[in-house]
Amino acid sequence: MTAPGASDGRLPEVLQAACWRVKDDPDGGLRVDASGNEIDVHAATMEEAVLAALRGDPLPELPKTHLARRVLQRIRAALLEGLAGLTPPPDGASVLRFMSAVEAVALAIETDWQQRFSDRLSGPDGPELVVEVAHDLRSPLTSILFLAETLRRGRSGPLTALQDRQLGLIYAAAFGLTSVASDVIELARGGDRQLELDPMPFSVADILESVRDIVQPIAEEKGLAVRLVVPQEQRLRVGYPVALSRVLLNLTTNALKFTDEGHVEVTADALGPSEMEFAVRDTGRGIPASSMSMLFEPFRRRQRDREYAFSGSGLGLSICRKLVEAMRSELKVDTGVGAGTRFSFVLNLPTVESENQARS
């Protein structure tokens, strides 16, 4: 008799034979984890569920266990083998409907990992779970960065120009992913942990040049120029170089992402004896007014494809703002649709000489 939804009446019989074959467990693989009675019950339940899915009826209550998934996997394999042995072969439409019913059951018995993950995240140890995942991502990415840099320095032999360019892209991509992992860790732990405990001397020009070196492969790939404007006076300043570098790198990468033609300019302009303004300006499409209110919100949901955001999660700008605030400043944005975007902030960075004089 033909089962509803199956135009070939032989198919339910093939399913039944497949289930009986699984119950016999000829290779003994299932009996390692279960008794014969458990296998019988699971196989019968899977057969009932597949026929229900084929008819379009609600599925019976199904066990979401490892054994249930293994049993259904065995049934699927036996079913395909049985279908292949039919003469004449069944029509394709009938086979498709039947296998779709099997897949519907497979989907139904999958563990609801999404709910379990959501429950874990909302629990008291949720932030630490996020940090653990981010750390697991950052460790192998750091290895990629090290290996790419080793190859680029020629320690494993000379490179062609194309290989050097490709390694530059690999390094930039791995660095970007590492930054995202670091953003997650920073946000989970307050957002300003990358601020050094004590201010230290550093070269502003060195920081800007380092940022340009990292993003240069991305800029070249897009045909964009990265311009640096550094102060003529090259005296060492006292401040937080790691945090400053992180902010400028994030902003520059973001600018390149949303610029298709023209250039990105990174500037450091001395406003007085100790104050210095840093800015990243691009010739991109600008930020629409509708995005401004949520620009610095982490984990925001974008409403439209390609809507302005530092990343899909929106973490980058949020972390930039937190680090700038930790350095006792404010991250400002000046933008307009079609007019590009300029992010800027002013820091108090006394020279080493003036700092030493103040202490004496």
User: 100-136, pLDDT tens digit by residue?
Assistant: 989 999 888 876 656 666 666 666 666 676 667 776 7
Output the pLDDT for position 1: 40
> What average pLDDT score do residues 343-348 get?
96
Q: What is the mean pLDDT of the chain?
A: 80
Q: Are strands 263-270 and 332-335 parallel, antiparallel or unpaired?
A: unpaired
Domain assignment present for 137? yes
Domain assignment present for 117? no
Same domain, 86 and 143: no
Asked if the model's pLDDT at residue 313 lies above 80, the reply is no
Domain assignment present for 193? no
> What average pLDDT score do residues 280-293 get?
86
220, 292 in Cβ contact below 8 A? Answer: no
With left for phi above 0 and alpha for psi between -120 and 50, is residue 348 left, alpha or beta? beta
Q: Which tops the pLDDT comparison, 273 or 131?
A: 273
Q: Percentage of residues in the chain with pLDDT exceeding 90? A: 21
Domain assignment present for 195? no
Output the pLDDT for position 6: 47
Beta bridge partner(s), residue 237: 202, 351
CATH code at 222? 3.30.565.10
- Specify the number of domains making up the chain: 3
Q: Classify burial at 261, counting beta carbons within 10 Å of its beta carbon; exposed 0-12, middle 13-18, buried 19 or more.
A: exposed
Same domain, 43 and 159: no
25, 32 in Cβ contact below 8 A? Answer: no
> What average pLDDT score do residues 307-325 get?
69
End-to-end distance of the chain based on CA atoms, in angstroms?
100
269, 229 in Cβ contact below 8 A? Answer: yes
How many C-beta neighbours within 10 Å does residue 206 have? 14
Output the pLDDT for position 127: 67
Q: Which tops the pLDDT comparison, 188 or 277?
A: 277
Same domain, 219 and 336: yes
Q: Which residue range forms the structural domain that includes residue 73?
A: 10-111
Same domain, 242 and 350: yes
User: 59-87, pLDDT tens digit by residue?
Assistant: 988 888 888 888 888 898 888 888 888 88
Q: How confident is the model at residue 329 (pLDDT cuts 50, 70, 90)?
A: very high
Same domain, 106 and 248: no
Output the pLDDT for position 25: 74
* CA distances, 99 to each of 85, 125, 309 (Å): 16, 41, 42
Same domain, 355 and 208: yes
User: 138-185, pLDDT tens digit by residue?
Assistant: 777 777 877 887 887 777 788 888 888 888 888 777 777 777 777 677
Q: Which two tokens stand for residue 28?
A: 């003994």
Asked if the model's pLDDT at residue 272 lies above 70, the reply is yes
Boundary (domain end) residue, out of 111, 134, 153: 111
CA dihedral defined by 56, 57, 60, 63, rounded to 10 degrees? 20
Q: Which two tokens stand for residue 270?
A: 């001395």
Output the pLDDT for position 248: 93
What is the C-alpha separation between 253 and 214, in angstroms, rounded?
Answer: 9
User: 192-222, pLDDT tens digit by residue?
Assistant: 555 656 889 999 999 999 899 888 888 888 8
